Structure 1
């Protein structure tokens, strides 16, 4: 799927410099950044969901451990 990504001049320049440093295309660097962002947030969302579901079950035990 193709898309257009609009960057500010400063963002485009930073991306260009990073791509040059890594000897990769700007597109490759941007795609990797998107993958890392999605994966990182997906993990955080999963952890939040598990905590929301499981924490109440152990609330009393955790409270006693905290004393």
Structure 2
């Protein structure tokens, strides 16, 4: 779901590139040892997705650009 003001740089990049996307959220369990694994498991269970269809992207701003 494109948003008027992107919540993250990754979403802003998707919107700028005109890429169709959907933002899906879940409630993080602070007891979880692995954020990435937890995200994949929760999102796969919440939707009709396999873990292989879920991508997590990190966007990093480097000091030298």
TM-score, scaled relative to structure 2: 0.30
Higher Cα Rg, which structure: 1
With normalisation by structure 1, the TM-score equals 0.29
Q: Which has the higher contact order (CA 8 A, sep 6+)?
A: 2
Greater helix percent: which structure?
Answer: 1
